[in-house]
Amino acid sequence: MTFILDCDGVVWLGETAIPGSPTAVSRLREAGHRVVFLTNNSFPRLAEHVAKFERLGIEVDPSDVLTSPMAAASLLAPGERVMVFGGPGIFEALEQRGVEALEPGAGMNGKSGAVDAVIVGFDRNFDFSRLATAATVVRQGARLVGTNDDATFPSSDGLLPGAGSLLAAVMTAGGKKAEVAGKPYDATRALITERVGHVDWVVGDRPSTDGALAQRLQTHFGLVLTGVTPPDHGPIDPAPDREAPDLAGLVKDLLA
């Protein structure tokens, strides 16, 4: 079987592995299952994701790590000029796609269409000036692309504002709806189909992304309670096929 695992809130929180998660990944592999990691976190480069797995005791092939910037890049055409509000992971994915990635404010010469698209991801430096720039470029006619629309981001310090919160501000100020690439949207589903093929389980901590992605892939959804979904949650839509306190518990249940 093939398992797609979310990262933040499932495998780790911040720079710390969630207890039992490295062992759980090893158990799945030892049982003959393929493990692919899929994250909506658009900030790190692929090599930084891989290095983090290794620091936390999880060996991973780079081809088994999929990110929302990869999906977002697929929505853009080689040669387009795109202003980026986000981290190096977006710049890397756009470069590999052959898209010209611009820093905020670059290319604003007053000509409509000078920038083909604005892409918004997780950006700790996002402020009023960046919001004003993004909204201006969008109103001038640029497409608006979001790496994901997660309102929050699970961390070791609790929930932080996610890329979706920043994207909502740009949509409001720019007066345009965004095309969203990450889980659970079509660009990510297409990326999985191309790179992974058939999937048996999607495991995550957020029903609105991980659960909805499982629905779109017509496969099983495993929910863990180490991220955004609290243990005392009420009714969940979509309902998980299996629920466990953490990844270790879920894997133990599934392999039993």
Q: Is residue 201 within 8 Å of 4, Cβ to Cβ?
A: yes
By the 10 Å C-beta count (0-12 exposed, 13-18 middle, 19+ buried), 216 is classed as middle
- Annotated catalytic residue, options 6, 123, 210, 246: 6
- Annotated catalytic residue, options 8, 149, 150, 210: 8
Cα Rg of the chain (Å, integer):
18
Residue 8 known to be catalytic? yes
225-21-213-39 Cα dihedral, nearest 10 degrees: 110
Residue 6 known to be catalytic? yes
For residue 251, give every residue at least 6 positions away whose Cβ sits within 8 Å of its Cβ, in sequence order, or none.
24, 27, 28
> Which two three-digit tokens encode residue 26?
């090893």
Q: Hey, how many other C-beta atoms are within 10 angstroms of the C-beta on 196?
A: 17
For residue 84, give every residue at least 6 positions away whose Cβ sits within 8 Å of its Cβ, in sequence order, or none.
90, 91, 94, 101, 102, 103, 104, 119, 121
First to last CA, the chain: 15
User: Catalytic positions, please?
Assistant: 6, 8
